[in-house]
Structure 1
């Protein structure tokens, strides 16, 4: 089976003083995460959509979905974890307990606050996860990347043509990802906060899927203004 796991477990502290986590803020007349869910619902290859949200917001998430989406038969809501990786594994645990795990099951993990992903990106992630076992969505880095260990002095300036900016989805064969996480030490789990990085560090190839510059993550108030501009532009 092919699962989409929408990561809506964050508190969105960089958004500033808001009444609710950023994934529930309005964007073009709907909460941000609803736009994201709709993109996955449009893709008929996705069998189930797992939304991982803070436990105290589960009822709000369910009520919001009922308001904006008619058919919820492919959607499940699960409590998120303390970290991103914990949240991913909570979703996988739910899948295993509810449906069981097959050797060819894949999961697309995606930020709830990236509502502008395309069907092409979703399809490429599905194909990549089936073929390679692990994929990461990226775009080329157009600006020079500066590395600094202490945040004060340049440590290195990597070759720009070899640099990419990570987006989501990050997609995996579920059994592969589960095995890698179960073999991490507690110290590694603290350090390896990105699922793809965990696989790379452990020696597994992660293949690239090309994203889009507008597949942006809405993190700040400025991002939200830009996103609203994109939504308004789509109406023209």
Structure 2
């Protein structure tokens, strides 16, 4: 079976003084989250589409999903305290409500990347059906400088560098197995779901993203997103 999980658990602290998490802010007349979910309901191969949100915003998320989305495959689930705990809570929901198969896959995507295309979704599905883990990336344009504070420690070869986006997609059985092997300190340090598989020695396959598949994180990003929607419309 093929599932989608929209990660809407962030608090949006870099968005500044706003009344709600960034995924619920309005973009062209409706919440950013809804723009994202609408892209996923267009894909008929999904058996279920989860929207995983903070517990404090569960009722609000359910309300806006009812208002804008009529697709019965969409379910709202409470997330965890951090990204990968949220991811696993979504998987736990699926394992409790749907039959399990060794070839089940999940396509996970940030709620605040509303410009994802059907091509990117399709490429993730096709790759996840044959590989344990898939990451969506774009080639790095700028030189990457590795360092801490004000000291550079390395400048990697730019041709080998990519910027990570989402979706990140997984064979569910392989992901759960890899996650269960991690120590508590490893789990606490993770900021990227594909690293779960890398730490377990599993390969991660890359698929091509798009520069416009960006994450709305700051007020500037929201202005850019508004301009893109206005130009498209």
| TM superposition score normalised by structure 2 | 0.98
- Whether the 8 Å contact between 1:134 and 1:206 is mirrored in structure 2 is yes
Q: Which runs of 5+ in 2 are unaligned?
A: none
The secondary structure found in structure 1 opposite 2:153 is: coil
Match of 2:175 in 1: 177
How big is the alpha-carbon RMSD for the aligned residues of Structure 1 and Structure 2? 0.8
Once the two structures are superposed, the pairs formed by residues 96-175 of structure 1 within 5 Å of their partners are 96-148=95-147, 150-175=148-173
Once the two structures are superposed, the pairs formed by residues 3-14 of structure 1 within 5 Å of their partners are 3-14=3-14
How far did 1:154 drift? 1.1
Match of 1:68 in 2: 68
Give 4+ residue runs of structure 1 displaced > 4 Å after superposition: none
How far did 1:102 drift? 0.8
Match of 2:195 in 1: 197
| Number of residue equivalences | 233
Match of 2:218 in 1: 220
- Whether the 8 Å contact between 2:41 and 2:71 is mirrored in structure 1 is no
- Whether the 8 Å contact between 2:181 and 2:200 is mirrored in structure 1 is no
How far did 1:72 drift? 3.2
How far did 1:217 drift? 0.1
Change beyond 3 A, Cα 1:208–1:45: same
| TM superposition score normalised by structure 1 | 0.97
- Whether the 8 Å contact between 2:132 and 2:202 is mirrored in structure 1 is no
Once the two structures are superposed, the pairs formed by residues 32-43 of structure 1 within 5 Å of their partners are 32-43=32-43
How far did 1:62 drift? 1.1
- Whether the 8 Å contact between 1:101 and 1:175 is mirrored in structure 2 is no
- Whether the 8 Å contact between 2:23 and 2:31 is mirrored in structure 1 is yes
